[in-house]
Amino acid sequence: AQSVAQPEDQVNVAEGNPLTVKCTYSVSGNPYLFWYVQYPNRGLQFLLKYITGDNLVKGSYGFEAEFNKSQTSFHLKKPSALVSDSALYFCAVRDNTGFQKLVFGTGTRLLVSP
Amino acid sequence: DGGITQSPKYLFRKEGQNVTLSCEQNLNHDAMYWYRQDPGQGLRLIYYSQIVNDFQKGDIAEGYSVSREKKESFPLTVTSAQKNPTAFYLCASSIGQNIQYFGAGTRLSVL
């Protein structure tokens, strides 16, 4: 079965420092991977996706993600964190069987301190 | 959240009552979804619909029902059979199995 693991419940980083939010996946066939962000009491907003091609994917708000096939990872990164980046981040993988629904991780809360 | 409207924002359910959550989209998307979000559990798929007049159960469909009579609308009913309905409910839509766009959510609580 397809699955996503986000091993950290929370990540703390100081403003201006680089940030990494980790994600590993398990999927049969080619992985289709996504990152979403959720601000308090709001829906999820799409950040970026990996379908094929370059292993470094660039997305919204200066975020990028690195796809590593051998480590089955898709970590979210940003060179310089902002306080406004504080939110809940979800990694998701597309289930390649049946309807190809999205399978979400449990989320990682990012706290950026001033 | 643009293009997908969920209402109400907050909803309270009494014991034994059915309640309906509204989801409307103007993105002309064929596929629509309902998720339940609980703290520490991520998003779990309740129901999805690929086209009008067709819908399928997701991972946690028990105690819920949906309809898809119009392309724009995908209402979710939380029935009295759902014994633990308190959660944040999110509706989403997509073109095929591509990027999903989410509404702002409905927070359901039990009185």
A112 CA: distance to closest CA in chain B (Å) = 20
Nearest CA among B54, B55, B76 for reference residue B65:
B76
Hey, what are A110's tokens?
């990012």
A63 CA: distance to closest CA in chain B (Å) = 17
Q: How far, in Å, are A74, B35, B36, B54 from residue B30 at the CA level? A: 28, 17, 21, 11
Name the residue type at position A100: Q
Say yes or no for a CB contact (<8 Å) between A43 and B50.
no
**Chain A partners within 8 Å of B1 (Cβ):** 42-43, 45
- B51 to chain A, any CB pair closer than 8 A? The answer is no
pLDDT in tens, chain B (111 residues): 459 999 999 999 888 899 999 999 999 999 999 999 998 888 999 999 999 999 999 999 999 999 999 999 999 999 998 989 999 999 999 987 678 999 999 999 988
Are the C-beta atoms of residues B1 and A42 closer than 8 Å to each other? yes
